[in-house]
Amino acid sequence: MVLLLVIAVVFGGFIAVSSAISGAQPSGGQPSGTGAASDSKPNVSASDGESTSASAAPTASSDDGCEQNLVTVTAATDKDSYAAGEKPLLTLKVTNNNKVPCEVNIGTSQMEYMITSGSDRIFSSKDCQAESTDLMKTIAPGKSETANFPWQRNRTVQGCQSVEAAPGAGGAYYVFTARLANKTSTKAVFQLN
C-alpha cells in the first residue's frame, strides 16, 4: 500500500511537500511512513510564528558563522500516557541556537522517528519510506521548526516486511528518539495502556 506523507510548511501560508511512503499493517490505521488505512500529515512549522525562508543550497558550518553543533534536535510526545487505541503524536523539533540564521535540511530525507522498548526496536519511519525529499530552510536565530508524526501503534522492520505482532500495551513503556541527518535527540519516554 502506498500513502502520501504530506509535510505542511508554515511561512505566510502552507506549502505542501509530498513524499510517497509504502508499507503494510495487519490491522488498524497506519501512520504515513508505514502505509495502510489512514493518511497522516506530519506538519512542519516555525515556532513563535516566526517566518522562515526556503533555500537551495546547504550552508557550510563556518562560512556564514552558523555553527552546526548549535543546531539541536529534540523529541517529544503530546502526552506521557495513552489510553487503549489512542495514537501518540511524535514531535521532532530542530532549533537554531546560533546568533545568525542557519540553513538546515528538514526534508523527509533527513528525518527519522524511532521507537524502542528496552532492546526491542519497535518502529522506524525509515523502514517503509519509498522515497524522500530534501527541504532546505533558513531558521532564524533562537527559532525552531517542528514536524509532527502521528504514530499508529504499529511495528515495522527494515525492508518493510509485513509484521503481524503489535506493540504491547497494558502500561508498557516506550522510548521515542528523533533524528535529523546526523543529529539525534534525547529520549522521550511514554506509556501505552
**What distance in Å separates the CA atoms of residue 143 and residue 101, rounded to the nearest whole number?**
9
Query: Kindly report the CA angle at 100 between 94 and 104, in degrees rounded to 5?
Result: 35
Nearest to 128 by CA among 33, 29, 27: 33
Dump pLDDT digits (tens) for 102-154: 999 999 999 999 999 999 999 999 999 988 999 999 999 999 999 999 999 99
| Average of per-residue pLDDT across 7-17 | 28
Residue 67 clears pLDDT 80, i.e. is over it: yes
Please give the radius of gyration of the chain, using alpha carbons only, rounded to the nearest integer: 17
* pLDDT-based confidence at residue 70 (cuts at 50, 70, 90): very high
- For residues 111 and 147, the answer to whether their CB atoms sit within 8 Å is yes
Beta-carbon contacts of 96 under 8 Å, excluding residues fewer than 6 positions away, are 66, 70, 71, 102, 104, 139, 140, 141, 142, 143, 144
CA distances to 31, 80, 115, 167 from 88, rounded to whole Å, are 10, 9, 11, 13
What pLDDT is stored for residue 51 in this prediction?
33
Dump pLDDT digits (tens) for 31-44: 333 333 233 435 55
Supply 91's cell numbers: 514531535
